[in-house]
Structure 1
Amino acid sequence: MILTHTVKSFYELSLDELYALLKLRSEVFVVEQNCVFLDQDDKDQKCYHLMLYKEGELVGYSRLVPPGLSYSETAIGRVITAQSVRGTGLGKVLMELSITYCHQFFGKGPIRLGAQVYALDFYSRLGFEVAGEEYDEDGIPHVEMIFWNLKDR
């Protein structure tokens, strides 16, 4: 299996890359999760976009959000893997890359995310800790989680 990845600011994305990542986000968040919401929230332009490819096909994506845009901390959002690769470990690869690039772009501070409750164990195994009460976002239970660096504690 040949894995590659790229991470780009919004304005560095090619039209094909933008189309592919928006298509994958719609396939997962809107169609698969049957969730009607406005995905384009005017944050993409200020973020970095991490795209994970398996043999040239986009199979994973996350949005790396600078501090102060969604939370006071750096954030990771819109985390998705294509249905065809779930259970193969690529979600872990995607998140490890996301953490690395967040630290590269925004410094070694804490990283926050809004996790769907069903994925709490996944994020916990990566070092994220629950940091709030459960809340409803577009009909799906979520909870905020935070990743601390050892030197931040």
Structure 2
Amino acid sequence: MEWKQQAFQQLSNKKLYQILKLRVDIFVVEQECAYPEMDGHDEASTHLWVEEDDEIIAYCRLVPAGDKYPYVSIGRVLVNRDYRSQGYAQQLMNKAIAAIKDQGEAKEIFLQGQEHLLHFYSSFGFKEISHVYMDDGIPHVDMLLKLD
């Protein structure tokens, strides 16, 4: 098992394809949500994932402040269906938060979480900063983590 973190420009064509395919498989197909998955923010983002035998187990992207939101944000958080309930989501979030802290510039981290994952994100210290709202047919809430 190997953790990787790369800027968009560092991604190979094959890895970019794997990432985008997995995101579409989960967010569009599995969740039955037709929305623009490729939203124009990948090029500015850092991509973080863990893989084994060239298969992505868990993935998220770290979007810089000012690109999509005023804050640095964590988005597109996913765990490959074959690897769920094995602790990879917690490892991924810990790695993502640590990566942002290591950059040393952010005072907060933003995320737009699905409502059913509020407890999960709260366990990392994220606090709700909005009411629940519908985004592409799925209840979401905005959350913010204040860094030390």
* Contact 2:5 2:49 (8 Å CA) reproduced: yes
Output the TM-score relative to the length of structure 1: 0.92
Aligned-pair distance for 1:59? 1.1
Any idea what the Cα deviations from partners look like across 1:29-70, whole Å, max 9, x if unmatched? 011000001111111111100111135420111010000112
- SS of the aligned residue for 1:44 comes to coil
- SS of the aligned residue for 2:43 comes to helix
Higher helix proportion: 1
> How many pairs does the alignment contain?
148
**Residue segments in structure 1 that go unaligned for 5+ positions in a row:** none
**Equivalent position of 2:8 in the other structure:** 10
Aligned-pair distance for 1:15? 0.7
Alpha carbon RMSD of aligned pairs, Å? 1.2
**Equivalent position of 2:22 in the other structure:** 24
Output the TM-score relative to the length of structure 2: 0.95
**Equivalent position of 2:92 in the other structure:** 94
- SS of the aligned residue for 1:37 comes to coil
- Runs of 4+ in structure 1 off by over 4 angstroms are none
* Contact 1:66 1:106 (8 Å CA) reproduced: no
| 1:81 has 2:79 as partner | yes
- Percent identity between matched residues is 36
Amino acid paired to 1:50: L
Distance 1:85 1:120 in 2: 21
**Residue segments in structure 2 that go unaligned for 5+ positions in a row:** none
- SS of the aligned residue for 2:142 comes to strand
